[in-house]
Amino acid sequence: MPEEPAFDLGRKKAPSVESKSMDVSKKITTKFVDAFGLKTSVQEFDVNSMKLHGKFFNNRISFYTVNDPGMKIHGIEVKSMTLYFIDSALMRKKYLLSEDISSPLIKTFGNFKFTPLHNSEKVALQNKEVLERRNGKVAINRKLANYQLKWVHEVNTLSYRSQFNFSDSTSTYELVQEVNYYKPYFRIVESMD
């Protein structure tokens, strides 16, 4: 197995990762893919335990999802994970989380790029700071609900999205790690079809 940690951005320590009932020999996907860094071959995974969404562009691109994978990131349940492969190499990992993990990510990775995703956040930022102190910890301002945090390193990018749905008052939290050339590489493969 590759030695690259799941979230190696070359800064600080990797986030805490917990798993329910890990038996790597039986079902490697429940191990959070922590031992699998980006660019790991699809042959390293037990793809029979994952839902294949399809293979595209002459079978060069494939997407696999595991619902309720039985893992946690910073103590928060992962509702689903999606693995994106191009030419059989893992290029992107996406995790849908049950709760907000912005504070531990900021603590772990430090400085970030902040992007408001809704006009209300843009207006709020005119008079408010992005970060505030709560219970002695640095956290995203409570008035901000739709935003993206991004950490870019030489090799890969980690992004975190918090989105609040005003119509039904629910929030979505998404964590994505991808190699920096994922999008251009995807477009190249797509254009060759």
Q: What is the pLDDT of residue 94?
A: 93
17-98: CATH, from 1.10.287, 2.30.30, 1.10.3210, 3.30.1450: 3.30.1450
- Quote the pLDDT of residue 167: 74
Which pLDDT belongs to residue 87?
A: 83
Whole-angstrom Cα distance, residue 156 to residue 10? 10
- Residue 39 is predicted with a pLDDT of 60
Give the pLDDT confidence score for residue 37 in this predicted structure. 61
pLDDT of residue 88: 80
DSSP 8-state assignment for residue 48: G
- CB 150 within 8 Å of CB 157: yes
pLDDT of the residue at 46: 61
Distances (CA, A) of 145 to 101, 115, 121, 159: 13, 11, 7, 15
Rounded distance between C-alpha atoms, residue 163 and residue 158, angstroms: 17
Residue boundaries of the structural domains of the chain: 17-98, 102-179
pLDDT by residue, tens only, the chain of 193 residues: 322 334 444 333 333 333 222 222 223 233 333 434 666 666 666 666 666 666 776 778 888 888 888 888 888 999 998 888 888 888 889 999 999 999 999 988 889 999 999 888 888 788 888 998 888 888 898 888 899 999 998 888 999 999 987 777 788 999 999 888 778 777 887 777 6
Q: What is the pLDDT of residue 13?
A: 37
Chain centroid to Cα 117, Å, comes to 17
Nearest Cα to Cα of residue 95 among 35, 26, 33: 33
C-alpha dihedral, 144 to 76 to 138 to 167, nearest 10°: 10
The predicted pLDDT at position 174 comes to 96
Q: DSSP letter for 29, please.
A: G
